[in-house]
């Protein structure tokens, strides 16, 4: 951004469990394996439209380690991401295809994807939000300096230690974000 330009606000959105339905087995969430299985959650479109109208950039940031593990095809994951971008009018989609052992900067809970988006799109991270349904999502947001909203599905896994808001859906998260922006 040049001198005198204004940084923009964004809402960073995890993919599975935030935008689309996660496949829950034994209390743990998993990504859909095909475009046929990809189902946008109720009221997600309304939430994203309301956030866009309020001037937020919408940036999907998703870990997809099944590609590195060999249990998902990268082209299928990219097709699902593109489908969500098109259907929901997202401004960008960043995806980490690495597994934990790869030690990359982009895998949440590290804030690499958020920092990269901020640099590329001119985003003010301190004026932005991260919405996720797993501890890695909100921790990445916290580390990047964003306000965090945790969609709590009661998964049988580690829970976030520190979040700004616990909600039941992206729709509920969008109401809180819009209320904070326009008290």
> Contact at 8 Å (CB) between 76 and 42?
no
Q: How many CA atoms within 13 Å lie on the side-chain side of 53?
A: 10
Considering the candidates 14, 66, 133, 137, report the single residue annotated as catalytic.
Answer: 14
User: What is Dmax (Cα atoms) for the chain?
Assistant: 52
- Whether 93 and 59 have beta carbons less than 8 Å apart is answered as yes
Q: Report the alpha-carbon distance of residue 97 to residue 164 in Å, rounded.
A: 28
167: left (phi over 0), alpha (psi -120 to 50) or beta: beta
Measure CA 146 to chain center.
Answer: 12
164 noted as active-site residue: no
14 is catalytic: yes
Q: Which residues are the active-site residues?
A: 14, 16
């Amino acid at each position: 951004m040049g001198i005198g330009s204004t940084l923009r606000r964004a809402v960073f959105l995890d993919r599975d469990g935030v935008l689309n339905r996660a496949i829950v087995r034994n209390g743990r969430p998993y990504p859909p394996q095909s475009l046929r299985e990809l189902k946008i959650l109720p009221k997600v479109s309304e939430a994203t439209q309301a956030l866009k109208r309020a001037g937020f950039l919408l940036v999907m940031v998703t870990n997809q380690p099944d590609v590195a593990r060999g249990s998902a095809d990268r082209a299928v994951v990219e097709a699902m991401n593109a489908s969500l971008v098109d259907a929901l009018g997202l401004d960008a989609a960043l995806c980490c295809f690495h597994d934990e052992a790869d030690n990359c900067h982009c895998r949440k809970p590290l804030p690499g994807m958020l920092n990269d988006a901020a640099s590329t799109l001119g985003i003010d991270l301190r004026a932005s939000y991260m919405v996720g349904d797993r501890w890695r999502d909100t921790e990445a947001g916290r580390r990047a300096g964003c306000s965090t909203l945790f969609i709590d599905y009661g998964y049988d896994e580690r829970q976030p230690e520190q979040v700004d808001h616990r909600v039941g859906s992206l729709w509920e998260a969008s109401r809180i974000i819009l209320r904070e922006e326009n008290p």
